[in-house]
Amino acid sequence: MPLPAFRYQVLLGASSAPAAGFTECSGLEVTTEIFEYAEGGVNSYVHKLPTRTKPGDLVLKRGLLFSSELWAWIQDISDGNYRRMDGRIVLYTTGGVRPAQTWRFSRGLPIKWTGPSLSASQSAVATESLTIAHEGLKLDH
Longest dimension (CA), the chain: 65
Quickly state the pLDDT bin for 28 (edges 50, 70, 90): very high
CA distance 52 to 15: 31
**20 pLDDT higher than 90:** no
Of the chain, the percentage scoring pLDDT greater than 90 comes to 45
Quickly state the pLDDT bin for 133 (edges 50, 70, 90): very high
CA distance 61 to 116: 10
Quickly state the pLDDT bin for 65 (edges 50, 70, 90): low
Per domain, the residue ranges of the chain are 8-140
Q: What is the DSSP letter of 52?
A: E
- 114: which residues sit within 8 A by CB, 6+ positions away? 128, 129, 130, 131
The per-residue pLDDT for range 74-106, each reduced to its tens digit, is: 999 999 999 999 999 988 887 777 888 999 999
CA distance 16 to 1: 10
According to CATH, the topology of domain 8-140 is: Pnp Oxidase; Chain A (2.30.110)
Q: Which pTM was predicted?
A: 0.81
59 closest CA partner among 136, 141, 134 = 134
**5 pLDDT higher than 70:** no
